[in-house]
Copies of this chain bind each other. A is one copy, B any other.
Amino acid sequence: MEYNDKQTAIIDIAERLFSVSGFDGTSVRDIANEAGVNVAMISYYFGSKEKLMEAVFEHKSNKMRLKVENLIQDTEMTPIQKIYLLIDEYVEKFLDQKNFHMIMMREQLTDKRTPVSELILELKRRNLESVRMLIHDGQKKGVFKKNIDISMMMGTLIGTVSQMVLSQPFYRKVHGMEELGEQEFRSHIRKKLSIHLKKLFKALLTNEA
């Protein structure tokens, strides 16, 4: 799909509003007003509010797709280095695409089977597959443990990052960072998450102390 500037602007705004107010909590008027376009434009461009949501998803989801395909073939890096890269990739992506990530979380909270929820499942399936190959590679090379619960491990990876995104206001309050700029805070969290998760994964995957 090719979108023109106005359409892209609508998608951007919709992403933000959907992420903070939810699909039902966001009216097409809200979106149209913020985008400075007529309400009818949403239907005109995307067909319906629902379809707009799909467009948001389709347009943003590729930014959430991990770039790990070539990581697998790489022979220079050790398996654990690859995992570390993967972690940083996840952390980066989730913090960067916070709005989209929130939409995904919200969508998973409903039990409705929508086209979007199908896309989420597919996205997760693909990401899981990439990780699985990385792990198996490490196991074949004998540097990773044999019995690894990959689903749980992924739950911890995604869950921990999600949780930090979700509890951002709480974290700021507890750590007295209420006045910190968004960029600085994100940078802070990124480092903390990276260190924390690498520690966890090292313990999970390897036998080293």
Contact = CB atoms under 8 A, between A and B. Distances in A.
B171 A151 contact: yes
B200 A156 contact: yes
A196 B106 CA distance: 25
Interface string A173-208: 111000000000000000011011001100110010
A189 to B, nearest CB: 9
Interface residues of A, number: 50
Contacts of A149: 192, 195-196
A123 to B, nearest CB: 10
- A-B pairs, top 8 by smallest CB distance, nearest first, are A159-B163, A159-B159, A203-B203, A24-B24, A152-B196, A159-B160, A155-B163, A24-B25
Given A22-B25, A109-B166, A158-B159, 8 more contacts: A20-B110, A21-B110, A22-B24, A24-B25, A155-B160, A155-B164, A156-B160, A159-B163
Interface of A: 19-25, 102, 105-106, 108-112, 121, 124-125, 128, 149, 151-153, 155-156, 158-164, 166-167, 169-171, 173-175, 192-193, 195-196, 199-200, 203-204, 207, 209
